[in-house]
Amino acid sequence: MTPAAPNDYVLGLALLTMGLPLLAFFLVFFLTRRSVGLSCFISLACSAVPLLCAWSLLLGHWRMPVPLLWEVVWMSSGGATATFGFLLDPLSLLMLTIVTSISFLVQVYSLGYMAGDPGKGKYYAFLSLFAWSMISLVVASGLLQLYIFWELVGLSSYLLIGFWHHKFSASEAGKKAFVMTRLGDLGFFLGIIVILLHLGDLSILGLNQNAALKLGPGLLTASALLIFCGVVGKSAQFPLLTWLPDAMEGPTPVSALLHSATMVAAGVYLVSRIFPFYQASPEALAVVLAIGAVTMLLSSTMAMVARDIKQVWAYSTVSQLGFMLMGLGAGGYFAGVFHLTTHAAFKALLFLCSGVFIHHFGTNDFFVMSRSGARGLKAPMICLSVAGAALSGVWPLAGFFSKESVMGVLAGLSNPLWLVVGLLGAAMTAYYTFRLLFVMWRPCESAEDPLHGGGHGEHAAWAYWVMVLPLIALAVFTVFLGWGGRGLEAFLRWHQEGVAEAHHGWLVWASVLVVASGVGLAWLEFGRAGAAQAGFLSHLPALERLFARRWYLDDLYRLLLDYVVYGFFSRLFTINDRRVVDGGIDGFCRGTAGAGWLLSFLQSGLLQFNLFSMVLVIALVGLYFLLV
């Protein structure tokens, strides 16, 4: 399948989409940061135009015959060429639309959420920087370009998580996110080098078409796993998952944009981007499947005990990303991407709804929110319920369909264990989501007095409605996106005519049953009249502590840091510094001084001694020429 060159119209639209957010960043950051209104306007305009461009590109290329490729050579050295450009195929068009849509809605929402914040101009500059990096990542035509923007996304995420840097925990969380994702990116970069050395071609099309033929199976698996390291870091998968819950220190719209819908989805996107490459190596796919499964189970258990509304959604994001990777690892390209799409809509909605409550009540604890009268905010409450139901997989919302297609792929595997894990995860998801929803719906009349105020004080009505409008737009998507599954499948599977993922009739009932049991358990414990609002886990304090402490993963990292990094490597480096580097320089200096002291004996000050040495040397040289 050879790519076609885009015509001028498409080229213009794509370059506009890629260029405007960068322009907005420079304008806002260097010129208009001080005047908040102008900054917001520039940033919003430079986010609305790409949104329109992306939608028109998507609709204009519905059922496109071949991918569109446009590249310029950035630099070439020897046989290797690094190109910059864009590759528009159904996957990147879909992702481009998701990214620009969520980014625009979040920018509108932030108008209300960040109202009155002194750093609002800077905040919008960073949002634009993020949008630019993410858009360029999505349309990147080669792995090197993708990697560059991958790191830029990491940078802007660091800036946004630590936006309230005067808060110690926020700056720590930004640092943690940066370091932990960087750890994974190291593997990604090594993978790129391996591919460059052995394949000599980093373009995504070339990778997907030729890698399996040109690379040996061992090398293929190795490079696929190295690239997957980057995915593990960016998408917060099993060993590196703890940075994401901490990243909730950032402003809530940032969490919605980065840590649910777009940035963390970049990892899943990367796997689906080079999916044929992964498919060529069954071992790598098995690892993807296993990591996804472990992550999904671990983070679901963590979400079951969290009291912080954003933490619940953070854990659920991690677990849903794991679920997408399970779908991809099981070979379900469409299933994974479909779940990515629907998840972007309902998870952004969940975060933005939570943001309204957080903004209004000034707390993150949903038990406190509920007691303070969260039910009074009708529109956000309805949206939250819709999105929560979609997350749990309730028919007929978007999540139901996408989960169903992932489950279908898992059921197609020979080992039934994966399906059981998937169903278990779905049950836990339904449980923790409805635990939160029931608590919000039914405030517990406990001894503590309802809390009022806090937060950002009295709010203007316009701020509230600016925040609610994006919610409604996202809710519409959440409700109706699921029905577009068939069309989306035909769009994404363009080059594999007639390959449909198997459907199992009984599976629908099984997953409905599983979700219903999760919801039922949550209702028994939190929802019914007179419920104690204490989960069954409170009877198992050891387990509850384990979940609340994130399976002691953070403590493990602390130990590793203290003993391995600080205790071993730092000490070695200190010794190296003192003995080898310092000692080497000291020795060199002493040697020079000593040699000078020795040579100073030649300078006796006696004229004839110097003369004698001269004559001696000349005589020796003469002797040498005489003899040789």
Residues that bind another protein (CB under 8 A): 599-608, 611-612, 615
Which residue, 2 or 603, has its beta carbon nearer to another protein?
A: 603
Cβ 175 to another protein, closest distance in Å?
57
Cβ 626 to another protein, closest distance in Å?
15
Q: Which two tokens stand for residue 205?
A: 């099309």
Cβ 609 to another protein, closest distance in Å?
9
Which residue, 2 or 600, has its beta carbon nearer to another protein?
A: 600
Between CA 466 and CA 88 the distance in angstroms is 33
> 261: which residues sit within 8 A by CB, 6+ positions away?
98, 99, 102, 343, 344, 345, 347, 348
Which residue, 376 or 596, has its beta carbon nearer to another protein?
A: 596
Which residue, 213 or 599, has its beta carbon nearer to another protein?
A: 599
Indicate the burial class of 413 (C-beta count within 10 angstroms; 0-12, 13-18, 19 or more). middle
Q: Which two tokens stand for residue 593?
A: 């001084």
Cβ 595 to another protein, closest distance in Å?
13
Cβ 615 to another protein, closest distance in Å?
7
Residue type, 504: H
Between CA 206 and CA 211 the distance in angstroms is 7
Contact 231, 133 (CB under 8 A): no
| Three-class DSSP category at 494 | coil
Which residue, 542 or 607, has its beta carbon nearer to another protein?
A: 607
Cα dihedral value 504, 507, 508, 511, nearest 10? -160
> 206: which residues sit within 8 A by CB, 6+ positions away?
199
Between CA 260 and CA 351 the distance in angstroms is 8
Please report, in angstroms and rounded to a whole number, the separation of the first and last CA atoms in the chain.
75
Which residue, 5 or 611, has its beta carbon nearer to another protein?
A: 611
Cβ 600 to another protein, closest distance in Å?
4
Cβ 76 to another protein, closest distance in Å?
59
Which residue, 9 or 612, has its beta carbon nearer to another protein?
A: 612
Cβ 628 to another protein, closest distance in Å?
22
Which residue, 7 or 603, has its beta carbon nearer to another protein?
A: 603
| Three-class DSSP category at 308 | strand
DSSP letter string, 597-611? HHHGGG--S-HHHHH
